[in-house]
Structure formats: C-alpha cells, structure tokens
A and B are shown apart, each in its own frame.
Chain A
C-alpha cells in the first residue's frame, strides 16, 4: 500500500527500466561480469569502511590501538576488518582483469568509458595507498613514509607536494589526519562518482559486445540473463573474500615505531613494480624510476583509444595490439615478481641480524689490530656464546657489561682476557659476568684473538678498564637509554630493582606495552638481540646464573606456569612487569639479573609489545587472537559454507522453475 503510494510519487519504475531493461548486443556472457563484481566489491568496501569508522580513531597514539581493539574485542570486528583488507586487494586485482578483458575485446574504442575507467583505476590505487597508513602499524607507517617521500623526488614541485601530503616535514598527527581525509572523505566519494560516470558513459555508448558482427546481431537482455551471470560471479568473489578473511587475516605488524630498525619495509604487492623500478634508476636519474615509469604506463593507457581507432576488434586480427598488451602485462608482472622475490636491501646489505653467516674472509670490521688466526672464529663465538648480549662492540650489543671496542681493553694482556673469560671473579669478586669455563682452550684463544683485535688500535687514551660511573641525578631532563643503562658490573642501581622469584608476578603495574598487540615476527628479531643471551635461543633457558637460588636464568619457553595464562592480555601484562621494571632473582648473590627495558626507554613500548607477542607465541598463545570474535571463526565459516551451498541449490532450482512457468 505504502509502496504503491511511493512508486506513484517517485519515478521508481522509470528508473528501474532505465537501469535494468537494457538490450545487450550479442547476448549475456560470463566474460562481461567483472565490472559488476567490482561494483559488489566497492559496495562491500563502503559498508565495511563505514562499519570500521564506528571504532577507528585517526590519531597517532590511538589509531593502532583502535584497529587492534576492533579486530580483537568487537564481535565480528575481525571479519569486518579482514573483509575490508581483502576487498581492497581484490579491487586492484579485479580492476586489472577487467582492463585486460576490455583490451582483448577491443572495447576501449568507445573512448570515454575507457578514460573514466583509467581514472577509476588510479583512484583505486590512491585508496590503496592512503588506506594502509591509517592503521599506523609498521607496514602502513613505512608505506606512508616512503610513498609520500617518493613525491619529493619530483623535480621542482616535489617537496611542496610531499609537505602537503604529510602536513609537515615528517610523518605525524597531521599526516594521519590527511591520509584519513583523503581516504574517507575525498577519494571514496570521487570513486563513487566516477563509478556512476563510468556506468552512464557505458549506457550512453552502449556495450561493445562480441567482436564478431554476426554474433552481435543476437540480442540478449541485461535483466535477467546478464544479471544472473553477474550474481553468480559476484557470489563466487564474495565466497573467496570470506574464505580469505577467515583463514588469512592480515598480520599485526606492530605499532608504528619510527625508531624501529628491525622491521624491513616493503610496499604492498600492487606497488612492488614501482619499488623495483626505483632500483634501476638512482642518483640524478631517480625521478625516472619514481615518476617517469608510472607516468609512461598511465599515459599509454590514456592515449590508447586515440591511437588505435580502427574498427577491427577481433584480437586475432590485431596482432600489434595484442603484442603490446603482452609486453605491458609482462613488464608489470615481471617487475612485481622481481620486487617480491628481491630480498630487500637490508638482507642484501647483511644487516646485523645475521652476522654469523657472513663472517670469514674479506672482513673490514673492527678487527684491524694484531689479528691472530682465530679472529673470524672468535667473532663467531662472540655471537654464538651470547657475549654481544651484554657487551657492545662498535655500537652494537647489550649494555650489561662494558663496551669492548675502543679503549676498554687497551693494555690488557692475552692472559688477562683468557682469565676473564674463564673465571671473571678472579679479577673482580663482584663481577656478574658468567664464567665461560665450558669453552675449550682453542675457543678461548679464538675469542682472545678477536678481542685483542678490538683493543689494538684504540683512539685517544681514556679511562681504561672501567667506564666512569655515571653521576646519578645529573641531566635530570633526560631519561637515558641504552647508552648508559647499566654501565658496569655491580652498578645496576640496585635500589630500583626488586627481588622477584621467577614464579611470581610482581605487584608493580604493567606498562603501556602490555596493552599494545605486538608482532611476533618483529619480536623474534628483537628477542635474538636483547633476550636470547640470558634466556637461551627461543627462550629455551639453560643459561647458568651462579649465585641465584635457581642456578639458571628462568626459561621462557615454556615459561613458569604461574606467569603464563591462556588469556593473551593477562599473559602479556604478567611478563610486561618484568620487562618494564627489571627484576633481581632471589639468591645470595645472583650473577645475572633482569635488566630494566621499559622504565629507562632502552626499548620503546612498541618494541616491548613485539617481544611480548613473541614470548606468547613461544608458549603457544597468539597475542592477536580475537577475545570476542562474536562467533568462532571456523564455526562461522562452516555456517557460511552451508548457507552458501544450500542457497545456491535452492536458488538454482527456483531459477529453473521460474523459467519454466513463463514458457
């Protein structure tokens, strides 16, 4: 009744007729369903995008947390977010397929529809670029940083464009605001408008249909013939998106941390070809790679319908056009694959993370002095025995013990060093350095060779054996970091550290890191650098701690069951207290103690959250598991698949029935 009133007042039927009752030259075809699939994906993006806005906060200090909250605490939040992520990927991929289809069919000769389509493709790329930094995780942050930095390579205007994009010189709150406004308020509406214009242009010029003149004379209808095929293909796309969202959630890459060097940034797959092109053009030629190559690729697409104006559309009779497509597609695919497979510059350069494998010949490292034969072996031992966990060499390593490069070892004899390694207490009864008495004579010699090399060419004369104790309270504004966390054995500001048995959770409050969902894979690298020397590789333990009640450093895998918890939040809070504030193990005179990592900023809170995620993973707990998924994802998927199959069968039967009743 109300419906009738509405359709009388408003041109519903006219609009429906205009939109749906279109005649198609050549009839319906599965080949022409990709456009409508894109419409469905776009609609899904709008819906999941709006849904995320209910929880998302576009600020540097809350963006990551708000997305993590959405994904773990909001019922079905994980599904909404994952659908948006996979929808974005599908959008770019299906646009590429759609364009290839249009090209092969020669349908770009309608000109205007093609041009708007190219604009749509660019708009989708901009959406992809502006969407990633909104999460403000490591991946998105560096994608935004490098992506906006690339604009600065444009001659003359580059720096202005970069500043306008970022809202300042460097990435910060204004950047996230701008990416947010571009993504949600500028380019999403532009995309919607262009889609409407694309369809209007298509309906004005009519669809191209098959290239064969005779086939084109056969007339089909959009509604219901083509629409049915569209729905089938779109539902398959939807099925794939749901499957990916359930089984392949995008990884948590940890909160954005501008100082983190353990994360190796690499762009999203759809920008890998630019990343790869960048490698071939360096120095003054760089704009060629960053701006030139993409511009040429876009210009080729834009001028295409004006170059190829011939009426022929059969791909078999357009060998040049087909060859061009082949070259163009091969270029992008090959560059993408090469960019994907390239190890990343960090690994190529042999970063500090895996030095042991790169030792041996051709070293130009610190060891320049009277190098014995064992220098390379000694450096290897220095890494594998965990010396670097406590001692810095050339700026890399832990802070428990004194730095060993520079003047610290100057004037020390081989015997002194060998004794120090075998039995540190022989020189200083209060030394907390563990005794490495298990090493063979040859191994100790190799280590001494290496250390002598470090001491050989010291710089200016300075205080030899011990670094100067730091005056407490000096420089009150500064919270010192690793540089002077614990400068020498026995000077570990004992008043701040509390004695905590390894099976007890301290009373102290946990820090901010406990509430950040970290990245276990990032944490693994940090764990190797910061924790493995005392807690063992992968937290397996077994490192002796003489003078402590336990006799060994507590293992972290498996961790003491009083500290572990099946609830990832509780688990993270428990271990966070140790990492933030440090602890002294009970015992008469423990040689090793848990250093402070959080209170003195020797690790950033995002870094600590990554280590926590890794320790949880070692104990079989996923830090990023949704606490309130709404429904178990696997159960959700089972229900979805059953509903999908049943609906498909029922609808197919009804479809056939409906066809029979009218004929």
Chain B
C-alpha cells in the first residue's frame, strides 16, 4: 500500500525535479549575464590622468615638415609626431585611427602612411585616403619658459 503510493508520487516528483534543474540553470544563466561587466574593465580615474612631460627646448621643434620624437616616461615608451604645417605646431599620435597600427611619416609624399590597410593622413593628421574613420589624434602640448612639454596619459 505504502509502496504504491510512493511510486505514484515518483512521476510527479521526477517532473518537478527536472523543472527545478532547468529553472536553476536559467536563473544561473541570467545571473551570468548580469556578471558580464566582470569582463568589461572600466578604466580607473588614475589611468586617464594627463601629465605634461618636458621633451626638449622649443628650438628643437621642427621649422617645417615633421619630426618624430621618441621618449620614455615612467618606464613607458612614447612616440609623437610633431608637425609644422604653416607655422603652427601640431602634436600627433602615431596610432592609426583605423585598427591601431603605427603610421610613419613619408617625406617623399608628404603624408603619414599606415602600413596595415593603407590609410593616409596629411601633415595636420587629416585623413586623405584609406579606411581610417578619424584624423590622427592630436595631443595637447604647452611651451613654458622655452621648454616644450607634451601631454601624455600613463
């Protein structure tokens, strides 16, 4: 008597347990989705801090054309292209705005060329060819007491 009753309950409990497992998996899955930010790092405020680094005196600035400047700051290497198009100095980041390769100045064509997918930028960093969506990033700089400082983020 008792045994038959138990067997009767079996079917219902099996279904219940299956539903419970499925529901738990669904809850876990949704919980996992909520955990997605775990994989999406936000930059800390410290990372974005802008600092001005003295590179050289203002007499070393290019009178015309483009000058490549490499320097290290807090163990990090930096490269900046300083261009002087019409008497105005522009500091340009060498990172192509397309997919992040390093552009190089081509003095024979008077343009920055990207080796990866052929983007080209003029001396002011404006896109003149290729797939790059934006001009080269301009970096802040300042000249204080005859010294030239470039703004970098470490």
Contacts and interface: CB of A to CB of B under 8 A. Distances in A.
Interface string B44-70: 000000000111110110111111111
Candidate in A167, A344, A478 with the most chain B CB atoms within 10 angstroms? A478
A472 interface: no
Interface in B4-44: 39-41, 43
A429 interface: no
Given A394-B105, A477-B54, A602-B70, A483 B60 contact: yes
B102 A150 contact: no
A480 B116 contact: no
A611 to B, nearest CB: 16
Interface residues of B, number: 53
Interface in A451-486: 457-460, 462-463, 467-468, 470-471, 474-475, 477-484
Interface string A223-264: 000000000000000000000000000000000001111001
A250 to B, nearest CB: 21
B90 interface: no
Interface stretch (A71-79, A141-149, A417-425, A587-595): A141-149
* Size range of the chain A interface in the assembly: 35 or more
Given A142-B101, A146-B116, A463-B59, A350 B109 contact: yes
Interface string B114-140: 111110100000000011000000000
B65 A470 contact: no
A518 B113 CA distance: 25
Given A145-B100, A163-B40, A164-B40, A351 B106 contact: yes
Contact of A358 (B60, B62, B101, B108): B108
A359 B108 CA distance: 8
A405 to B, nearest CB: 5
A504 to B, nearest CB: 30
Contacts of A142: 101, 116
Contacts of B102: 258-261
A348 B118 contact: yes
Contact of B65 (A394, A482, A483): A394
Contacts of B110: 364-366
B11 to A, nearest CB: 28
Interface string B86-108: 01000000100011111111111
| Chain A contact residues, majority secondary structure | loop
A480 B118 contact: no
Interface stretch (A37-45, A98-106, A279-287, A576-584): A279-287
Nearest to B83: A395
Interface in A580-639: 601-602, 604
B105 A395 contact: yes
B130 A282 contact: yes
A393 interface: yes
A167 B69 CA distance: 29
Contacts of B100: 145-146, 149, 170-171
A57 interface: no
Nearest to B66: A395
Contact of B54 (A149, A459, A474): A474
16 contacts: A150-B99, A164-B39, A168-B43, A259-B70, A260-B102, A261-B104, A278-B117, A282-B131, A349-B115, A394-B64, A396-B105, A458-B64, A470-B56, A478-B55, A481-B72, A482-B68
